[in-house]
Amino acid sequence: MTFSIRRFRAMVKKEWKDAIRNPQILLNAGMPILLALLFKQKEVDPSDLTFLSVPILVAISITGAFVQANMIAEEKEKNTLRSLMLSPASKLEVLAGKSATTTLFALIVIASCLAISGVPDVNLFFLTVLAILLLLIFMALGTVIGLIARTASESSIVGLPLLLLFIFGPIFVPSLGMPALMNIIHVLPSQQFVVAITELLQDGGLSEIGGNLLNLIMWTVLSGALCLLVYGKKRFDK
Amino acid sequence: MGNLLFTALFTAKLGWSFRLLMSREGVIVMESIIEVNDLEKRYKKKQALNKISFQVRQGEIFGFLGPSGSGKTTTVKILTSQLLYTSGRVKVLGIDPARSRPSEFLGKIGVLTDNSGTYERLSVYDNLALFCRLYGVPKRRIETVLDAVNLIGDKHTLVGRLSKGMKQRVTLARTILHEPDILFLDEPTSALDPVNSERIQKTLREMNRRGTTIFLTTHNMQEAEMLCDRVAFLNNGEISALDTPQALRLRYGDHSITVTTPLGKQIVQQDEVGAGFIRDLIRRGELLAIHSNEPTLGDIFVKLTGRGLE
């Protein structure tokens, strides 16, 4: 597979110009900031360390998955993805261009959320590694959602189960007392992220978060492979 | 001998299986740029293409004519690597589009389909600038193609604010931006007014003169007659005729002539009786006008398939 920096930069430039004029993408990016403001109003129970990781989780998951899904689904809806696929741009260049733009959005949103909720007192290196892996996973899942959905608005509906399970699962399921559901939630990358941040907040190190990191790496590889597989299949019509 | 050796080396270098011919001017002419043999495409419940075969020569405008649902779009999608075929052999620029490395192959073709999209929140210029970068074409080409499609004055307008016909011209400008070896055009003037249709047809003819091969699918018979060197009639996934428009008209015409006399119009056959009748009219000074009755491509299509092109 070819990769041209010129074509990659062209994609990023186009995506950025287009995205900052897209109300739906701006809404998706603005939602985590709004949630961070709401969370700030809530009195945090000092014993419940989970809530300290929530603003970052919400920022990464909503921006990563939904901005990416929206960008891809709209390309399909407006038949511009076909034009890109009929140009010399490879699927890697197209995906990398979109992912880089989503990352830019995510960085801005994460920075805004952290500015509102405060930076958790943890090892920043580990926090960054965990955040990058989680972002990659959600962008890959967002790409799959975008490719499955027929329109930009449909991407929000297709992505709703992901939102409920992956984002709100780690926040609300622990308090529901449903062990079967909790077993499912436990293998999700979002839950592993929350657990890892909680460990780091309790002065944990690599030995404490090693299992969580491994889980996130596996999710990154699997979701990346799924995303390339689905995207590759879309090159040809049925 | 020298020519043969050069031809063989040229063929081997390109890895193409086409026969290369020497024209009278000594210029090498590639015989076929698209080769389709026994092409079959079957969807779950429908046979879209039934073992069709045709070749498109380099530098010609080839018309692929047929009504909606006849298999035109399926063929274009197969030739442009958007759709896998069921069986047969397909070569475009010497390679199988289904098995090619896309960026190499796609850099040499231009595709305009009836649903080619544009980025509506970007300006006309930004839309084209993106594809300049993707194809590695200098941005000064934008002015040239915008002039060709009569959109130079709307360079900085957001595409979302343009009419349907203007958007179609933007997509056409994007399709010809990189001066492709082959242009696949699906109804390129369907949403255009007569003035812009004529301008686009002129641009296509100019591109063709500079060496671009054009594969045109349309059900506009007038456009096909004006532009195409050869046409193929596609009906229910099968090619029912393939030749130059003139040859088809001669083959399927009834060889009659309409003569206008002071008494009105009269149809006569091109035989000894008809010739004698015309000679008499001339001798008497009563022949006011004479026209051969050639059928249109639309008439021939109906004659061959029993159905119209709309």
Range name among A20-29, A170-179, B69-78 with the lowest pLDDT average: A170-179
B134 and B221 inside one domain: yes
Q: Does residue B216 contact residue B224 with C-beta atoms inside 8 Å?
A: yes
How sure is the predictor about B80, in pLDDT bands with cuts at 50, 70 and 90? very high
pLDDT at A159 over 90: no
B206 and B221 inside one domain: yes
Q: Do A10 and B134 touch (CB under 8 A)?
A: yes
B105 and B230 inside one domain: yes
CB of A18 less than 8 A from some CB of B: yes
| Average confidence score pLDDT of chain B | 86
Query: B105 lies in a domain?
Result: yes
Residues 6 or more apart whose CB falls under 8 angstroms from that of B260 comprise: B266, B287, B288, B289, B290
B21 and B38 inside one domain: no
Q: Do A78 and B107 touch (CB under 8 A)?
A: no
Containing structural domain, residue B287: 254-293
B152 and B190 inside one domain: yes
When CB atoms are compared, the residue of B81, B106, B115 closest to A79 is B115
Residue A161 falls in which region: left (phi positive, over 0), alpha (psi -120 to 50) or beta: alpha
Query: B303 lies in a domain?
Result: no
How sure is the predictor about B15, in pLDDT bands with cuts at 50, 70 and 90? very low
Q: Does residue A71 contact residue A29 with C-beta atoms inside 8 Å?
A: no
B138 and B85 inside one domain: yes
How sure is the predictor about B131, in pLDDT bands with cuts at 50, 70 and 90? very high
Of residues B50 and A124, which shows the higher confidence score? B50
CB of B42 less than 8 A from some CB of A: no
How sure is the predictor about B198, in pLDDT bands with cuts at 50, 70 and 90? confident
B100 and B217 inside one domain: yes
The model's pLDDT over B21-36, given as tens digits with 9 standing for 90+, comes to: 444 444 445 579 999 9
CB neighbours (10 Å) of residue A139?
Answer: 28
pLDDT at A181 over 90: no
B225 and B146 inside one domain: yes
Query: B301 lies in a domain?
Result: no
CATH number at residue B67: 3.40.50.300
B139 and B118 inside one domain: yes
B174 and B153 inside one domain: yes
How sure is the predictor about A172, in pLDDT bands with cuts at 50, 70 and 90? confident
B24 and B54 inside one domain: no
Segment B124-144 mean pLDDT = 95
Q: How many domains does chain B have?
A: 3
- For chain A, the domains span 5-233
| Nearest alpha carbon to residue B161 among B120, B119, B102 | B120
How sure is the predictor about B86, in pLDDT bands with cuts at 50, 70 and 90? very high
Q: Do A236 and B83 touch (CB under 8 A)?
A: yes
Range name among A184-193, B11-20, B152-161 with the lowest pLDDT average: B11-20
B174 and B76 inside one domain: yes
Segment A94-112 mean pLDDT = 93
Most confident option among A35-39, A60-64, A166-170, A175-179: A60-64
Q: Which residue has the tokens 């699906």?
A: B186
Q: Do A238 and B43 touch (CB under 8 A)?
A: yes
CB of B181 less than 8 A from some CB of A: no
**What pLDDT is recorded for position A139?**
94
Query: B307 lies in a domain?
Result: no
